[in-house]
Structure 1
Amino acid sequence: MIAIETKQLKKSYGAVPIVNGIDLIVEQGEIFGFLGRNGAGKSTFINMLTGIIQPSSGTYLLLGIKGPNDQVKKRIGVMPDYSTLFGSLTAVEHLKFLSALSGKPEAKERCMEVLQLVGLESHAHQKAAKFSFGMKKKLGIAQAIIHDPELIFLDEPTSGLDAESAIHIQKLIDHLHKRGKTIFMTSHNLDEVEKICTRIAIMKEGQIVKIGTMDELRSFYRSTMTVKLKHSPISKSEQVKLHQWLESAGTDIEMKDSYVTLNINNEKKIAEMIRAFNQCKVDVYRVEVEEPSLEEIFLDE
């Protein structure tokens, strides 16, 4: 079953496009990561899917139902990044109130169970006005899952949390995934995305520019690697032969003193390079490979 399907979904304010024609399919049971710089349109896209704002054009379906639809809202959970809480209500009171709004009022026992899942059980009866930013974030996640939704939207679920709390929330997301939930999340934490997301989309200037699994995206961005090789002196009789071989193996070749640098498109060429140097009676002392960092892969598209 398809959890989310959008066709040419757009949102503009005046003449300024924020989300510019997105076609996307998210299968049920995925943890789908949605990445992009601030201002790329990620939150606007989620706000359209969750009925907070209306699209300018295009269509979308949630759990097979065309949106916007009030009934499907009961089957989804939403934690916006700007979670607004009632300062006079305790954590438990928030969950009882939100679950009642969803049409599935929960007893105190269920509320306490969810607060334990997010790590807030010891603050269950504390008023939200006294909560830290991280505690508010955890309560926002609790609100998103209190009514046991099938599809959960999490906007930056671990931003602002300490390392221990972030790991706790990541384990919770994994727990929800194992229970068959579909999770659509934005994040600036690239290590987190690599660790828990089954598929990832990169958004830039209102459009999805790349989509795939972690391995697929890495494969795309690693089409070129820079190899720097330190070696023993090359005899004059072998220099021309070795240079000709390097020209056939890669591009942007530099030969300086005891170093050779070139770009290759397949890591198998590294082993071939070493063999070629050995055949020319040149010892290889060190091989360095430069590849894109995670930040370059995901945010420097």
Structure 2
Amino acid sequence: MNTGETLKFIRTKKNLTQKEILPDYIDPSAYSRVESQKRPIRINDLQEILDRLSITPDEFFSLSSLDHEQQQFRNLFYYCGNHIDNKTKKKKLLDYYFDLENNKGKSLRQISNYIAIKNFFHQHWDEVNTISTEEVKSLFNELNQRKFYFQYDYVLLSNLITYFSVQQSDILISKAYPIELEEDRDYITKKFAYNTLLNLISIRLHENDYTRALKYIKIAQKQDKSASNYSFRMNLKYLENLTNYLIKGETKYMKQVYNFIENIEDIGDLTYAQSVKEEVKKLTYNNGRDSNNEYIIALIKDTY
């Protein structure tokens, strides 16, 4: 639905007339043309009408198609990610990918979508190329020029963080964090910003670079000041406990890791739980901790 259709949908669902939702300074005939999609609406007028409808802007825009194209892409992207072998959806996403590949004047939104497809699907579909060295270099330079990071900047950063060198990552993280005006940011922007830090911590653990892992954990702990994103905080706590275990070898930290895995399984996300198990197994076996700890060996036998 577009803006006018959404306003009409909400109004009729609430059994209200146009007259009941309009402030005195808005001409009813002019507003009628908004609902019939014949004229736009000013942002101040929209806010006043939403107040009278008792609808938040977030709820309104979730129903409106202002960002319809991008929402369609995300729905298709996530569907394909969970159904890799679905030929119909695969073709649809690949058609979009090839259109972007041939588009020399891509917008930032299109670039972020293009890179997201390459980052995830190149390992599943032969038709999708890996992200090239030239793309990494070009996009690093672009992100490095940013004075303020918006949503698509964080999407790019999240998808490219594994391709950047240690030095490049440090430079961009210092520019992108702390998240400016974090409390005013939308959920999706913060989601990608948080995921970037979680991915980076995991990367450093796989590289046995525990000093930098701790550095990024400290940066991440300063985000989400409202304590509203529980997924982010739980995953961060898992990485913090895993890092402490790898450094100190104390079983109390592995117990917390095990509790995290159990919680994921309890809510039914078995795929993610399995990926966490595999990550923990790989990291703990690689650094030799488990061979010296009977409790951890038993834990792994029961869990993996």
Structure with greater strand percent: 1
Larger radius of gyration: 1
Structure 1 and Structure 2 fold alike (TM over 0.5): no
Please report the TM-score for the alignment, with normalisation by the length of structure 2: 0.27
Q: Whose RCO is larger (CA < 8 A, sep 6+)?
A: 1
Structure with greater helix percent: 2
